[in-house]
Amino acid sequence: MTYLIEGRDGPWELVVGLEVHAQVISQSKLFSGASASYGGEPNTHVSLVDAGFPGMLPVINRECVAQAVRTGLGLKARVNLESRFDRKNYFYADLPTGYQISQFTHPIIGEGAVEIELADGSTRVIGITRLHLEQDAGKSMHDQDPARSFIDLNRAGVALMEIVSEPDIRSPEEAGAYLRKLRMILRYLGTCDGNMEEGSMRADVNVSVRKAGEPFRTRCEIKNVNSIRYVMQAIEVEAVRQVEIWENGGSVDQETRLFDPARSETRSLRSKEDAHDYRYFPDPDLLPLVIEEAWVQGLAAHLPELPDAKRQRFQDEYGIPRYDAGVLVAEQATADFYETVARGRDPRLAANWVIGDFFAALNRTGRTIQDSPISADALGGMLDLITDGTINGKIAKDVFEEMLETGESAADIVERKGLRQVTDTGAIDAAVQAVLDKNPDKLAEYRGGKDKLFGFFVGQVMKAMAGKGNPALVNEALKKVL
Amino acid sequence: MMLTELTIAGAQGGLRRREFSATELVGAHVAAIERLNGRLNAFITVTSDLALDAARRADAILAGGEDAPALTGIPLGIKDLFCTDGVRTTAASRMLEAFVPPYESTVTANLLADGAVFVGKTNLDEFAMGSANITSAFGSVENPWKRAGDEETVLVPGGSSGGSAAAVAARLAMGATGTDTGGSIRQPASYCGIAGIKPTYGRCSRWGTIAFASSLDQAGPMARTVEDCAILLQSMAGFDVRDSTSVDIAVPDYRAACGRSLKGMKVGIPAEYRVAGMPAEVEAAWEQGIAWLRDAGCEIVEVSLPYTKYGLATYYIVAPAECSSNLARYDGVRFGRRVPGESLDALYEATRREGFGAEVRRRILMGTYVLSAGYYDAYYLRAQKVRNLIRKDFENAFRTVDVLLTPTAPSPAFAQGEKMDDPVQMYLNDVFTVPASMAGVPAMSVPAGLSASGLPLGLQVIGRSFDEESVFAAASALERAAGFTHRPAVRAEVV
């Protein structure tokens, strides 16, 4: 559905492009041997190169290049076999060399595409303009001392991928879907953990509005938004702000803005006139980055199955609905969990249990799939008991709860608590007869034509058997007698 | 025996034959420094005690037998642009006047691994920016040479490696390291009557050497003979994984190249180097050099390097551009001088105004300007294109010739105070050395004779990329033919 902003004199269309900064998963930094791991005491992951000491030189980290290439392949993008590093010059206390090494004119990855799916089931393709490698800066801390600012260089020099989308996004929902999909792909690839709270994924949001059919109008850039929800909110409020300006006869200035989630508004950070002149030029300390086609092919051959392909395979191979497949592939760990459960079992039953009771249990207990008290094999073991008739679906729910609590296997619980389903027709017949004897009035009503009471009798029989009766046999026995 | 008069090659033998000890050899140079450095100001930091300790260790190694490394016990001066572990490294700037690096540059580490003894850190133009060694925050360096009959006038040693050149010429060190960005080894070598080579860009690692202009900076040796330069470069050169622009090509035997026959070598004489207003004595020295090489069996060929005339103009865009970025790290935040300010910007401004001298500030401003939005294409980008054309000029020339011969500098050493008021006049000193820097090819200055005023004049041999061997061969032949035995007025044995 088209997202339009209703202005005073008609609808406005939204135009959004996103620049996502994704921290590369790697042992060491982009140009130094210092650890790239998150956290650590301030200034403990810092080499002389990161601190910009005299005479220190950058040396490109091969693994970071490989991660960028994997990401490019995952985004179905062009891999540039020759790319270049440039210096982006500006002064700031947490930028030790006075320049950031980035890729300005010749990025390592060119055009690509990400397919997103919206709530109404429709899909759209968002173009990727480019992906380039660059260094992160350090962190300035202004709240540690009344008079001084402190600098932590642990993050300085860590590799980032800047992933730039085309201005193809037309609604906050699409922006959210794009970010979720991008994050999913990065996580599948193992190239970025996508953790926005820790800042390992951040977005700069370019927003403009226009009347249908117009060329682009002036855009504003909202810097460093650190959650998907905030990105969606920021777009919404910024678009409204711009529509108001245009409709009041003003014009939107190209500027950099900040999103304030507390007040749900964007504020000007600096205007175009105050914009830095970054004085980009090729970094003379680094040769052009040349990679071999064969090396790229080698990386491509070892890429994991990506979400779109996996979803399609789940539909084809397991015969589960598209929606369910989508839920199951949202995270690699979930998909793996499901496949373990489904292996050699009824895949639809497995999907129902994983998406239903299992997800609900994780939600309820605040656990993740990684520290789930019920392993995929344990859940599979329980499904086996359902399939072979040892327990019925209702008892399975109790067994599941018990597994959640104790971590015991389904078989042990069934054994210990004597939950084995009763398939002995003699016992079932006896229970049926007892229920009929106890409810002569209901029996009369039923025979008088009140068919709906059949369910009542089933319930009473199951109750009498403590839920352990085989539902099919109970039905059969009742029908026979009634 | 006058130990300070020895060549490195000679001292290597003497030490091994136990004719004198490393302690005596180093001690003689340390004593000379103590006597003369107050006047020449060739060293910013003298490390006598460290040197004498190292000399004693060298003697122990030499006593141990045959396999002492090549430079064991040889006293060298180190340009104060090379970071030396635990020894103050200033770049001749107030900005770094108290900076003690916790690391050793690759080039000096290579020399130390070969047994060399460092007697001190030599003076230079601030951040290697200058051609007269007058921009040092630690004062100017005096050229040990005097004009004939004029003991008074203080001459400049050239720059930026002026301290290294003066120290070697005055016999305060047997050799020294220099760095050359647009002529900073060759021009002072010429002014001080010594030899010096800027090897091919990528031959010596830049790791741990304070950067001026990264795409041009190259370390090289300075010594009193071509062979001594070959011995030192043998140790300094080599691939380094920590410098992405260093090149992984085997280092040949440079010393052997010095004795190579020149029979059949083709020597190019670039027409464009015959610049208007070149002093007759410089022209004469050049002609003499051509004759010497012809006599040594070379074929002399006129060649054209049409774009070299843009070399200097191009250099003064590329080098300042890179320097403006390279020197951004001197901001008072992490190391070096800090002048407090009310805000971060105020701290930057005060620190950099106080920390940098006028010439460094001038080049930072020029570099910032040529990289600015709206000027980048007109200046920096165009300069890069011209630089490629200059590179092609050399490639074309080297298709027909093996080396080129030119004067090193348009004049002999000038006096302190001359050419000082016009930066462009000063920049013109590098007109013959800059093109080889722009092309990245190796080039060496070798003393060829004296000017009418009794000052040394150098000739420059330029070779193909990574063919320092031909450069050494031709320079050696010139050296033999010139028989340059003149010595400066101010030197170790003159009390």
Q: Which domains does chain B have, with CATH numbers?
A: 3-265+405-482 (3.90.1300.10)
Question: Is residue A456 located within the same domain as residue A379?
Answer: no
CA-to-CA distance for B419 and B131, rounded, in angstroms? 11
Look at A150-159, A411-420, B276-285 and tell me which has the smallest mean pLDDT: A411-420
CA-to-CA distance for B456 and B190, rounded, in angstroms? 7
Q: What percent of chain A has pLDDT above 70?
A: 99
Question: Is residue A25 located within the same domain as residue A134?
Answer: yes
Return the CATH number at A448: 1.10.10.410
Look at the pTM and tell me if it is higher than 0.90: yes
How many angstroms separate the CA of residue B440 from the nearest CA in chain A?
A: 13
Question: Is residue A207 located within the same domain as residue A266?
Answer: yes
Question: Is residue A405 located within the same domain as residue A436?
Answer: no
Quote the pLDDT of residue B495. 45
Question: Is residue A388 located within the same domain as residue A279?
Answer: no
Pairwise pLDDT comparison (B274 vs B124), residue with the higher score: B124
CB contacts < 8 Å between A and B, how many? 102
Active-site position among B93, B136, B140, B184 = B184
Asked if B20 is an interface residue toward chain A (Cβ–Cβ < 8 A), one would say no
Quote the pLDDT of residue B353. 96
In one letter, which amino acid is A436? L
pLDDT at residue B493 above 90?
A: no
Q: How confident is the model at residue B494 (pLDDT cuts 50, 70, 90)?
A: low
How many angstroms separate the CA of residue A293 from the nearest CA in chain B?
A: 21
Cα nearest neighbour of B214 on chain A: A284
Which residue in the block uniquely carries the two structure tokens 């006038």? B153
pLDDT tens digit sequence for B92-117: 999 999 999 999 999 999 999 999 99
Which of B459, B371, B352 shows the shortest CA–CA distance to B410?
A: B459
Which distant-in-sequence residues (6+ apart) come within 8 Å of A241 by Cβ? A265, A266
Closest CB to A57 among B82, B102, B206: B206
Contact B297, B433 (CB under 8 A): no
Quote the pLDDT of residue A477. 81
The tokens of B88 are what?
A: 């103050």
**Interface list for chain A against chain B, based on CB atoms closer than 8 Å:** 48, 51-60, 87, 89, 91-93, 96-99, 149, 151, 277, 279-281, 284-287
Contact B75, B110 (CB under 8 A): no
Last residue of a domain, one of A393, A417, A441: A417
Q: Average pLDDT, stretch A168-183?
A: 97
Last residue of a domain, one of A390, A417, A444: A417
Query: Could you count the other beta carbons within 10 Å of the beta carbon of residue B241?
Result: 11
Question: Is residue A207 located within the same domain as residue A74?
Answer: yes
Quote the pLDDT of residue A1. 57
Quote the pLDDT of residue A110. 98
pLDDT tens digit sequence for A82-136: 999 999 999 999 999 999 999 999 999 999 999 999 999 899 999 999 999 999 9
Q: How confident is the model at residue B277 (pLDDT cuts 50, 70, 90)?
A: confident
Quote the pLDDT of residue A479. 82
The CA distances from residue B354 to A28, A268, B340, B346, B367, in Å, are 37, 35, 11, 12, 19
pLDDT at residue B278 above 80?
A: yes
Q: Average pLDDT, stretch B234-252?
A: 97
Asked if B209 is an interface residue toward chain A (Cβ–Cβ < 8 A), one would say yes
Is B160 part of the annotated catalytic residue set? yes
Which residue in the block uniquely carries the two structure tokens 């040949």? B252
Q: Average pLDDT, stretch A331-359?
A: 95
Question: Is residue A370 located within the same domain as residue A433?
Answer: no
Chain A residue numbers touching B89 (CB-CB < 8 A):
54
Closest CB to A55 among B105, B215, B344: B105
Question: Is residue A202 located within the same domain as residue A349?
Answer: no
Question: Is residue A158 located within the same domain as residue A292?
Answer: yes
B371 contacts A279? CB cut-off 8 A: yes
Question: Is residue A43 located within the same domain as residue A89?
Answer: yes
pLDDT at residue A34 above 90?
A: yes
Q: What percent of chain B has pLDDT above 70?
A: 99
pLDDT tens digit sequence for B14-68: 999 999 999 999 999 999 999 999 999 999 999 999 999 999 999 999 998 778 9
Active-site position among B21, B79, B146, B164 = B79
Contact B197, B185 (CB under 8 A): yes
Q: Average pLDDT, stretch B407-434?
A: 87
Mean pLDDT of chain A: 93
CA-to-CA distance for B299 and B293, rounded, in angstroms? 8
A98 contacts B328? CB cut-off 8 A: yes
Quote the pLDDT of residue A427. 83
pLDDT tens digit sequence for A289-329: 999 999 999 999 999 999 999 999 999 999 999 999 999 99
Specify the number of domains making up chain A. Answer: 3
Question: Is residue A252 located within the same domain as residue A272?
Answer: yes
The 3-class secondary structure across B374-401, one letter per residue, is CCCHHHHHHHHHHHHHHHHHHHHHHHHC
Which residue in the block uniquely carries the two structure tokens 């030490």? B15
Please state the φ and ψ torsions of residue B78, each to the nearest 5 degrees: -120, 120
CA-angle at A307, arms to A306 and A312, nearest 5°: 105
The 3-class secondary structure across chain B, one letter per residue, is CCHHHCCHHHHHHHHHCCCCCHHHHHHHHHHHHHHHHHHHCCEEEECHHHHHHHHHHHHHHHHCCCCCCCCCCCEEEEECCECECCECCCCCCHHHCCCCCCCCCHHHHHHHHCCCEEEEEECCCHHHCCCCCCCCCCCCCCCCCCECCECCCCECCCCCCHHHHHHHHCCCCCEEEEEECCCCCHHHHHHHCCEEEECCCCCCCCCCECCCCCCCCEEEEEECCHHHHHHHHHHHCCCCCCCCCCCCCCCCCHHHHHCCCCCCCEEEEEHHHCCCCCCHHHHHHHHHHHHHHHHCCCEEEEECCHHHHHHHHHHHHHHHHHHHHHHHHCCCCCCCCCCCCCCHHHHHHHHHHHHCCHHHHHHHHHHHHHCCCCCCHHHHHHHHHHHHHHHHHHHHHHHHCCEEEEECCCCCCCECCCCCCCHHHHHHHHCCCHHHHHHCCCEEEEEEEECCCCCEEEEEEEECCCCHHHHHHHHHHHHHHHCCCCCCCCCCCCC
Last residue of a domain, one of A417, A434, A464: A417
Question: Is residue A311 located within the same domain as residue A295?
Answer: no
Q: Average pLDDT, stretch A155-182?
A: 97
CA-to-CA distance for A230 and A205, rounded, in angstroms? 10
pLDDT tens digit sequence for A238-284: 999 999 999 999 999 999 999 999 999 999 988 776 778 999 999 99
Q: What percent of chain A has pLDDT above 90?
A: 76
Q: List the domain range (segments joined by +) for residue A385.
A: 307-417
Active-site position among B160, B205, B246, B476 = B160
The tokens of B89 are what?
A: 């490294």
pLDDT at residue B395 above 60?
A: yes
The tokens of A208 are what?
A: 């403009």
